[in-house]
Amino acid sequence: MQVPVKKVHPEARIPARAYGKGDAGFDLASVEELVLGEGERALVRTGIAVAIPPGYAGLVLPRSGLAAKYGITLTNAPGLIDSNYRGEIKVIVQNTGHGEFTIGKGDRIAQLVVTPVAAVEFQVVAELRESERGEGGFGSSGV
């Protein structure tokens, strides 16, 4: 599948896999430089827009290395890019670590996974079919 990508900033990097075809995610990089203090979050520009095909969606996910080493995560993970969105991809980055964290131009800040989306229609019914779980919610399977 080919996904059209447009640079909306001259220093934008095209999403790329770090290790090749076995990677599910494509790295997204910042086109700006900023410093995040402890607990701060910022909307970070990637400088790209994409045209995800109908029937698919883009999920913007944290990079595990940034989370493990520095406590850098995405506030709304996963972020969702609908197939009809054509604006610039921006990432809400949050510093949950200790101390300031600097994001530089070209730094990989998140990853994009393109995934199929089921064609779903909701049907109103009077009753739902029983299941083994039933109405068990948070914590219902134990700790």
pLDDT in tens, 66-113: 999 999 999 999 999 999 999 999 999 999 999 999 999 999 999 999
Residue numbers of the domain that contains 67? 5-116
Residue 44: what pLDDT?
98
Give a yes or no: residue 63 inside a domain: yes
Distance of CA 96 to the CA centre of its chain: 17
The values of phi and psi at residue 73, to 5°, are -140, 180
pTM: 0.88
Q: Taking a C-beta distance cutoff of 8 angstroms, is the pair 27, 18 a contact? A: yes
Give a yes or no: residue 40 inside a domain: yes
**CA-based angle 103:104:105, to the nearest 5?**
130
CATH of the domain at 50: 2.70.40.10
Residue 75: CB atoms within 10 A of its CB come to: 14
Residue 54: CB atoms within 10 A of its CB come to: 10
Give a yes or no: residue 130 inside a domain: no
Give a yes or no: residue 137 inside a domain: no
The tally of domains found in the chain comes to 1
Instruction: Give the span between the Cα atoms of 136 and 124, in whole angstroms.
Output: 22
Radius of gyration of the chain (CA): 18
Residue 143: what pLDDT?
66
Give a yes or no: residue 125 inside a domain: no
Side-chain-side CA neighbours of 127 within 13 Å: the count stands at 4
User: Which is higher by pLDDT, 56 or 22?
Assistant: 56
